Chain A
Amino acid sequence: MMTFKKLFRKGIALMLVTMAVALSGCSGDKAEGTSDGTITIGIPQDLEDGLDPHKVSAAGTKEILFNIFEGLVKYDEFGNLIPALAQKYEISEDGLTYRFSLRSGVKFHDGSDMSADDVVYSIERCADATAGEPLVPAFSNIASVVKEDNSTVVITLNAADTEFLASLTTAVIPKSNDDPATKVIGTGPYRYVGRSPQESIELEAFDKYWGNKAHIKNVVLKIVANPDAIVMELTGGSIDMICRITDTQAEELKGSDFKVLEGTMNLVQAMYLNNAVKPFDDVKVRQALCYAIDPQEIMDFVSGGKGTEVGSSMFPAFGKYYDESLNHVYDRDIDKAKALLKEAGYPDGFSFTVSVPSNYQQHISTAEVISEQLKAIGVDAKISLIEWDSWLSDVYVGRNFEATVVGVDASTLTARAMLERFVSDSGKNFVNFSSAAYDEAFKKAIGTVNDGIQTESYKECLSILANEAANVYIQDLPTFVAIRNNIDGYKFYPLYVQDLASLYFTEK
């Protein structure tokens, strides 16, 4: 007969064994490479701008293609550039010559070997300027791309550019692929299997991947077009994970089979002002708006107080350039705002229209709070909801607007990607910001190979944007990711990336 004590002891021993098994199960799963199984991830829209990695532009498409394609270098979760298809690289002292030693044994998804020819082809394809601006604008600086031998590629620049390396995250695709738009062949941890428009996209772990193989074999990206259905699809079991849910949805998921992770979107949400139209061509008017608007109150209303305030065109994840003191250039001061309006010749205020893309609830809510806040200084902001497509053509390209609330992100993780658009003659300067001091500071920043001078110049750019009140800066939006409890390994990146290869099942 077993005594109580014995039973107790046995119980503990059993518990320890189970724990050990469970623990080894965890780590084993993670380390052992690909496990069978499927994860279904909800995405808000289909990859509608195609699958050619050099031609896509939507952030939602790029963050998925990150798993299929790789460049010579790629970003890690901290925003550092790490060697990918290049095993190592050397940069000459004058900053003009880049010598890449290619990793050996890298296979494309079609089974062929990646070679120096493919690298040269991919870079040349993106640098081709015969039809105007090259596909990768930074490549216009390339003087030559040469295959030195089968595993070495040398790129020579016309002018030194400390941020050039970031543009080499550009996907390497096989030279033999005659139609990259429909034949999706890369070197990444996942390979493209197929798609059904507006329904789903299927990926499969690539078994000949050169690096750490993906943990989960099959990935289905299911399009969840109706944001109101997200919670239902999660709890109903149709999807296992979805990114960028709202604060309210995160609350609804409490106590369910899902955990909710919080991160930031890494963008700059602002009320962007058209600096070329009246009355926003007057710096005093822009400053008055900044004084009248309180970002903290907006964050309280829109996302339950979450989010991080920004005071210029730089988000906090970019620690090197983000300057918190710029958040306090315009602390809320109604009297000062009124005085500035009076000086500018609008003692009784004025009215203007804020165009907001109708598919972004957080921007709409932000615009609503702004409109309320501006009433205090007699300014009447009318909100006009427009389709995303009209926003692109009328506001962004046509620059035919007064003010708009959107988030602007960085296409590559460089200060240049954030700040180049405010140079007076930039094609992307949709706010028509124009400042000789800014142009000069920016030119200085991109012209130097000295990191200290560069950082300082970029910071100067940021403080000019704040002091000139180019836009009414608000926040970097919070973002929430819902994942089923048995899946782990999600990593937030400081740019638009969904790293699917790092996900793994914690139990079977």
Chain B
Amino acid sequence: MKQVFKKIISMFATLLIVSAVVFAAFEIIPGDPATSKLGSNATAEAVARLRAQMGLDRPFIVRFLSWLGDMLKGDMGISYSYNMKVSSMIVDKLPITLVMTAISMILTLVISVPTAIFLAKYAKSGIDRTGQIMNQALMAVPSFFLGILMTWLFGMVFKWFRPGGFISYRKNVAGFVGYLFWPSLAIAIPKCAMSIKLLRSAILSEADKEYVRTAYSRGNSTMEVLYRHVLKNALVPLITFWGMTVADMIAGSIVIEQVFNIPGLGRMLLTSISNRDYPVVEAVIVLIAFVVVLMNFIVDLICRKVDPRIK
């Protein structure tokens, strides 16, 4: 329990540091939201007035503390560009990112676990060798490139989906999921390849251990040994990997959103950075950081449960 408490404290410390760094980054980079908003109508006087209105004329530390205070109260502020509540903007975009991550994760699990077991079963055979070479290749291809290839092949040649034809979940849920399937697949493939490699070698190294011989000697069949004993142990390192994968997928969706022209959290983050829309940028980055630390935390808890040796 004390351990868990410590973890939570360090979680908040991480978030605090991340948000302070983002705040400081905006102090350093040129450009500011007032000139961005006023555009070519800007005169030095008008900029100064709008800055005052936005509260940007206050010193850095005061702004940071007041933002922090609002954030703790659950108030993410109001976007400079959209005059909308940042929280409602995020709620609007979050389903896109979450569904995409969920599909990729499901694809990763559904493909990688059976394949890894299969390859492990036929270790060192011809199938295993070809499988491993393919796996190596897929691991090396970045998902944005896969995305471009898939857009061309499935979108333009086979016409299985309409490139750039994102459908909002508010209009048609099936169409929405159908479109997100492709970017999710592009994200999942390299992750899948990594999971297969890790899981296959974990199974093989577990299979050499003595408890496996004992299990066999008690009369268990290969399948029973694999599923009841080996897999349980082999999955421990994978849980950590998958946990990090989820966090990675959420942060990495920024790139794939550009390839598939998806108006998700990633695009909102990018345009908000170029508009210097601090409240939005802060909120999205803190959210992503929160997911990362939260996944770490959850992974820790699960591993403790599965393997009591971990303290």
Residues of A within 8 A of B38 (CB): 49, 57, 392
Task: Decide: B39 and A197 in contact? CB cutoff 8 A.
Answer: no
Residues of B within 8 A of A48 (CB): 36-37, 81-82, 271, 275
Residues of A within 8 A of B166 (CB): 199
The segment from A8-16, A219-227, A342-350 that touches chain B is A219-227
Distance to closest chain B CB from A330 (angstroms): 26
User: Could you write out 13 A-B pairs with CB less than 8 Å apart?
Assistant: A49-B37, A52-B83, A132-B46, A132-B49, A196-B168, A197-B263, A197-B268, A199-B263, A200-B263, A236-B163, A236-B165, A394-B30, A394-B31
Mark each residue of chain A from 209 to 236: 1 if its CB lies under 8 Å from any CB of chain B, else 0.
0000000000000011110010011001
Task: Decide: B162 and A392 in contact? CB cutoff 8 A.
Answer: no
Task: Decide: A57 and B261 in contact? CB cutoff 8 A.
Answer: no
Given A182-B84, A225-B271, A387-B31, A396 and B40 contact (CB-CB distance below 8 Å):
yes
Task: Decide: A198 and B267 in contact? CB cutoff 8 A.
Answer: yes
Task: Decide: B275 and A50 in contact? CB cutoff 8 A.
Answer: no
Distance to closest chain A CB from B296 (angstroms): 29
Within A367-396, which residues are at the interface with B (CB < 8 Å)? Answer: 387-390, 392-394, 396
Q: Does chain A have a CB within 8 A of B258?
A: yes
Main secondary structure of the interface of A (DSSP, over half): loop
Within the complex, which residue of B42, B92, B276 is in contact with A396, where a contact is CB–CB below 8 Å?
Answer: B42
Given A182-B83, A198-B271, A393-B32, A229 and B164 contact (CB-CB distance below 8 Å):
yes
Within B87-141, which residues are at the interface with A (CB < 8 Å)? Answer: 89, 92-93
Q: Does chain A have a CB within 8 A of B243?
A: no
Task: Decide: B45 and A132 in contact? CB cutoff 8 A.
Answer: yes
Distance to closest chain B CB from A423 (angstroms): 13
Residues on A facing B (Cβ under 8 Å): 45-46, 48-52, 57-58, 131-133, 181-182, 196-200, 223-226, 229, 232-233, 236-238, 387-390, 392-394, 396-397, 408, 411, 427-428
Question: Which 10 A-B pairs give the minimum distances between C-beta atoms?
Answer: A427-B43, A199-B263, A389-B31, A57-B39, A57-B41, A48-B81, A393-B35, A233-B164, A392-B35, A198-B263
Residues of B within 8 A of A392 (CB): 31, 35-36, 38-40, 42
Task: Decide: A397 and B263 in contact? CB cutoff 8 A.
Answer: no
Task: Decide: B37 and A389 in contact? CB cutoff 8 A.
Answer: no
Give the CA-CA distance A350 to B73 in the complex, in Å.
58
Within B160-181, which residues are at the interface with A (CB < 8 Å)? Answer: 162-166, 168, 170
Residues of A within 8 A of B35 (CB): 389, 392-393, 396-397
Given A49-B37, A57-B39, A237-B165, A133 and B46 contact (CB-CB distance below 8 Å):
yes
Residues of A within 8 A of B79 (CB): 197
Give the CA-CA distance A20 to B267 in the complex, in Å.
50
Identify the closest chain B residue to A50 (Cβ): B83
Mark each residue of chain B from 44 to 59: 1 if its CB lies under 8 Å from any CB of chain A, else 0.
1111010000000000
Give the CA-CA distance A133 to B47 in the complex, in Å.
11
Instruction: Bin chain B's interface residue count.
Output: 35 or more
Give the CA-CA distance A52 to B82 in the complex, in Å.
10
Give the CA-CA distance A232 to B44 in the complex, in Å.
42
Distance to closest chain A CB from B271 (angstroms): 6
Given A49-B81, A181-B83, A197-B84, A58 and B39 contact (CB-CB distance below 8 Å):
yes
Within the complex, which residue of B32, B164, B274 is in contact with A388, where a contact is CB–CB below 8 Å?
Answer: B274
Identify the closest chain B residue to A358 (Cβ): B274
Identify the closest chain A residue to B52 (Cβ): A131
Distance to closest chain B CB from A231 (angstroms): 10
Distance to closest chain A CB from B54 (angstroms): 13
Within the complex, which residue of B45, B49, B162 is in contact with A236, where a contact is CB–CB below 8 Å?
Answer: B162
Task: Decide: A57 and B37 in contact? CB cutoff 8 A.
Answer: yes
Within B230-281, which residues are at the interface with A (CB < 8 Å)? Answer: 258, 261, 263, 267-268, 271, 274-276
Residues of A within 8 A of B31 (CB): 387, 389-390, 392-394
Distance to closest chain A CB from B95 (angstroms): 11
Task: Decide: B164 and A238 in contact? CB cutoff 8 A.
Answer: yes
Residues of A within 8 A of B44 (CB): 397, 427
User: Which of B37, B44, B156, B268 has the most chain A CB atoms closer than 10 A to its own CB?
Assistant: B37
Within the complex, which residue of B37, B83, B271 is in contact with A46, where a contact is CB–CB below 8 Å?
Answer: B271
Residues of A within 8 A of B42 (CB): 57, 392, 396-397
Give the CA-CA distance A196 to B44 in the complex, in Å.
32
Residues of A within 8 A of B93 (CB): 197-198
Given A48-B275, A133-B45, A232 and B164 contact (CB-CB distance below 8 Å):
yes
Residues of A within 8 A of B82 (CB): 48, 50, 197
Within the complex, which residue of B46, B268, B274 is in contact with A389, where a contact is CB–CB below 8 Å?
Answer: B274
> Apart from A132-B45, A197-B82, A198-B263, what are 19 other A-B pairs with CB-CB below 8 Å?
A48-B271, A51-B83, A57-B39, A182-B84, A229-B163, A232-B164, A233-B164, A236-B156, A236-B162, A237-B165, A238-B165, A389-B30, A389-B35, A392-B38, A393-B30, A394-B31, A397-B43, A397-B47, A427-B46
Distance to closest chain B CB from A369 (angstroms): 24
Distance to closest chain A CB from B273 (angstroms): 9
Give the CA-CA distance A61 to B12 in the complex, in Å.
40
Residues of B within 8 A of A427 (CB): 43-46
Distance to closest chain B CB from A370 (angstroms): 22
Q: Does chain A have a CB within 8 A of B77?
A: no
Give the CA-CA distance A238 to B163 in the complex, in Å.
8
User: Which of A198, A226, A387 has the most chain B CB atoms closer than 10 A to its own CB?
Assistant: A198
Give the CA-CA distance A41 to B271 in the complex, in Å.
20
Distance to closest chain A CB from B252 (angstroms): 18
Task: Decide: A233 and B163 in contact? CB cutoff 8 A.
Answer: yes
Give the CA-CA distance A339 to B81 in the complex, in Å.
50
Identify the closest chain B residue to A359 (Cβ): B274
Give the CA-CA distance A52 to B92 in the complex, in Å.
22
Give the CA-CA distance A387 to B170 in the complex, in Å.
34
Distance to closest chain B CB from A401 (angstroms): 12
Residues of B within 8 A of A181 (CB): 83
Residues of A within 8 A of B268 (CB): 197-198
Residues of A within 8 A of B275 (CB): 48, 389
Residues of B within 8 A of A200 (CB): 168, 263
Distance to closest chain B CB from A315 (angstroms): 16
User: Which of A51, A182, A393, A396 has the most chain B CB atoms closer than 10 A to its own CB?
Assistant: A393
Residues of A within 8 A of B41 (CB): 57, 411
Residues of A within 8 A of B156 (CB): 232, 236
